Amino acid sequence: MAYDVCVCQLLERAQEENRRLLSLLDDRDHKIATLESRVSQLQRELAQEKERLREENAALIRAMTALAAAK
């Protein structure tokens, strides 16, 4: 009988630990998903900024060319 109680207690502790670990995994997965979303957002913003800078550089080159030609 004492053996059965001990086994039941061990099983209960193991199940409790499993629930705790599953909760930690869920939290970690949520954090990963949040970070992946943020990285994607930053990549889109970076691509937009890169394109804006390319356009700005092209405009500056045209202005410099025009100034050089005017002299």
Q: Tell me: the pLDDT tens digits for 12-61?
A: 999 999 999 999 999 999 999 999 999 999 999 999 999 999 999 999 99
pLDDT at 4: 78
Return the C-alpha torsion angle 11, 16, 20, 26, nearest 10: 80
Place of tokens 């957002």: 41
Task: Read off the tokens for 39.
Answer: 């990285």
Three-state DSSP at 1 gives: coil
Which of the pair, 33 or 71, is modelled with greater confidence?
Answer: 33
Q: Is the pLDDT of residue 2 over 90?
A: no
Residue of higher predicted confidence among 64 and 2: 64
